[in-house]
Chains A and B, each alone.
Chain A
Amino acid sequence: MAALTDLTLTETVKGLRTGEFSSMELTQAYLERIDQLEPKLHAFISLTPDKALAQAKAADKRLKSAGDKQLPPLLGLPIAVKDVLSVEGIRATSGSRILENFIPPFSATAVQRLLDAGVVILGKTNTDEFAMGSSTENSAFGTTHNPWNLERVPGGSSGGSAAAVAARLAPVALGTDTGGSVRQPASFCGVTGFKPTYGRISRYGLIAYGSSLDSVGALGRSAQDLAELFSIMAGFDKLDATSMDLPVPDMHLNADVDIKGLRVGVPEEYFIKGIQTEVEEAVRAAVSELENLGAQVRQVSLPHTEYAVPVYYIIAPAEASANLARFDGVRYGLRVESEDIIDMFKETRGSGFGSEVKRRIMLGTYALSAGYYDAYYGQAQKVRALIKRDFEQAFEQVDVIAAPVAPTTAFTIGEHSGDPLSMYLEDVFTLPANLAGIPGIAFPVGFDSDNLPIGMQLMGSHFQEETLFRAAHAYQSASDWHTKAPAVG
């Protein structure tokens, strides 16, 4: 039998049900592997082994009680949670010194639904501070290393979750995606990651960055595994005013998923100068594979793609500057004492926030300030409407859009640290989905000559997540890139 930590979510849940192994054995196997590899990877900000073992013990008790006919679907399954999501009683830092000792008194809805489904929480994963970044280098608690090459970034901001799943420190992990923060690290670490439609999974308990862009997603070994999590986390929540009251498909993807006739669009604007040749080749080969499986491939155009970076880097910082105003040293988090209350605010925020967060607060404050509002924020909202319209027009012709996740494979730690704009430009292929509010799924489709994973993303129309999961699952049923694991060391 394979090591317990090599099993997929589906295999793990089955093994727990049949009594092949207990949740204690499984949880211990993951905790041992974390002990062994965490010093090299630094995927976690907080580990919670005692709570995890207590949850596992309780799960085992229920699994063994023969009379219990209504066992929760994920009973005894260990997961990891990105540190921007609140879990009651476990500190949530958001990767920031300003929340270093913050213990949430409640759990995020997405987390609570998984807890109700029986999961065991191993710990909280590393993230760029307040999810602002594409490399996890902006965490106040140190950089996460890519399990495929320790000198490379894991991507970000859900880099800790991506590294943890890739290195088999957790079978699945929660992430958040505001501008690509699930899909890009999934791509860099060779795992599968999805972001839902805006309004599909409640944002309640997600420490806010850009409220019109933020989404809760997950990373795992396959689309099949993630479809199970999606079905549990998605759906209306009265605690999130933007949550949509729509039926959620109960997806259990089988081997015989058929994508005959699926219309796949390839946007020319995503194959631009500067894209790594091996990335383009691998993505085009994956599109051909979808065609072999019966999909109809055609070219589509998303003409405003080149404006996604400037639109995002006005709207996201503007929303961040408002959201992060709450960190003032009064109700929670760090306080730097001063006799004067305005000084207290300034000193607290000046020493509690890191460089990238300050940069985005400054940028957003500028864009919203008197005299500049129309030229920057107002114009960005208009161009955002054009980007959304591009997608609506494309989805009149196709069911899904296939594109690279990032122009390159994982870059070297420190490569972009002196030049924030060059880092922002790396987000060009992931930002549009957040600006339009549509769902996306990223999964591995090959490796470059440095043995670094290459990812492709499929984007779908609003609330058409099932189409994305089915297409990705069909691809993964016919290929084995998603089963490759790094030899960490």
Chain B
Amino acid sequence: MNLTIQEVERIADLARLHLTDEEKERFREQLSSILGHVAKLQDLDTAEIQPLTSMSLECTRLREDQPGESLSPEELLNNAPDAIKQQFRVPPVLDTDNHS
């Protein structure tokens, strides 16, 4: 299993991770080695096996939708890197120059 630098860049982009060139090369090698080890999972015939998708021993529980106590906006915004008027402030999400 050998990943290419382009594959590493594609995964980093999907994961929204900036990587340096040195990291890209290191992860290319290390991820290739780890995926090589993981490949042994393919040795097992699992055609008849149901995947284990939930660890809970019971069905998902539902509860009444009732209002309860919650934290105040101030408490929730205390950890925000940039907040204004009870809102999180972020750079522009839409490219305003391209608005038609």
Q: Are A and B interaction partners?
A: yes
B63 x A238 contact (CB < 8 A) = yes
- Name A242's contact: one of B19, B55, B81 (CB within 8 Å): B55
Q: Given that A238-B63, A310-B37, A342-B16 are contacting pairs, would A332 and B52 also be in contact in the complex, using a CB cutoff of 8 Å?
A: no
Decide if B84 is an interface residue (CB 8 Å cutoff): no
Residues of chain B within 8 A of A375, CB atoms compared = 42
A320 and B40 CA atoms in complex are apart in Å by 22
Q: Given that A106-B71, A321-B15, A350-B18 are contacting pairs, would A363 and B79 also be in contact in the complex, using a CB cutoff of 8 Å?
A: no
Residues of chain A within 8 A of B14, CB atoms compared = 365, 369
A330 and B11 CA atoms in complex are apart in Å by 22
Residues of chain B within 8 A of A61, CB atoms compared = none
- Name B38's contact: one of A242, A313, A325, A358 (CB within 8 Å): A313
A363 x B31 contact (CB < 8 A) = yes
Convert B40-59 into 0s and 1s, putting 1 for each residue whose CB lies closer than 8 angstroms to a CB of A: 11101010011111111110
Point out which of B18, B34, B35, B42 has the most chain A C-beta atoms below 10 A from its C-beta.
Answer: B34
> What DSSP secondary structure best describes chain A's contact surface?
helix
Q: Given that A335-B82, A349-B18, A421-B33 are contacting pairs, would A199 and B57 also be in contact in the complex, using a CB cutoff of 8 Å?
A: yes
Interface pick from A73-81, A381-389, A444-452:
A381-389
Residues of chain A within 8 A of B61, CB atoms compared = 241
Residues of chain B within 8 A of A177, CB atoms compared = none
Closest chain B CB from A387 CB (angstroms): 9
A331 x B80 contact (CB < 8 A) = yes
Point out which of B30, B39, B92 has the most chain A C-beta atoms below 10 A from its C-beta.
Answer: B30
Convert A423-446 into 0s and 1s, putting 1 for each residue whose CB lies closer than 8 angstroms to a CB of B: 010000000000001000000000
Residues of chain A within 8 A of B91, CB atoms compared = 338-341, 344
Decide if B23 is an interface residue (CB 8 Å cutoff): yes
A346 x B38 contact (CB < 8 A) = no
B16 x A103 contact (CB < 8 A) = no
A199 x B11 contact (CB < 8 A) = no
Closest chain B CB from A243 CB (angstroms): 9
* B24 (CB) vs chain A CBs: closest residue: A362
Point out which of B37, B52, B78, B93 has the most chain A C-beta atoms below 10 A from its C-beta.
Answer: B52
Q: Given that A359-B27, A363-B31 are contacting pairs, would A334 and B17 also be in contact in the complex, using a CB cutoff of 8 Å?
A: no
Residues of chain B within 8 A of A383, CB atoms compared = 41, 44, 46, 49
New A-B pairs, 20, CB < 8 Å, besides A212-B55, A362-B11, A369-B14: A105-B75, A105-B78, A106-B71, A198-B55, A241-B56, A307-B41, A332-B79, A333-B81, A344-B91, A349-B16, A353-B17, A355-B23, A358-B19, A362-B12, A381-B52, A381-B53, A382-B50, A384-B51, A385-B49, A462-B57
18 CB-based A-B contacts, threshold 8 Å: A103-B79, A241-B61, A244-B57, A307-B41, A310-B41, A331-B88, A335-B82, A347-B18, A349-B18, A350-B18, A355-B23, A358-B19, A363-B35, A365-B15, A382-B46, A382-B50, A385-B49, A385-B51
Q: Measuring CB to CB, which residues of chain B are less than 8 angstroms from any residue of chain A?
A: 7-8, 11-12, 14-19, 23, 27, 30-31, 33-35, 37-42, 44, 46, 49-58, 60-61, 63, 71, 75-76, 78-82, 88, 90-93
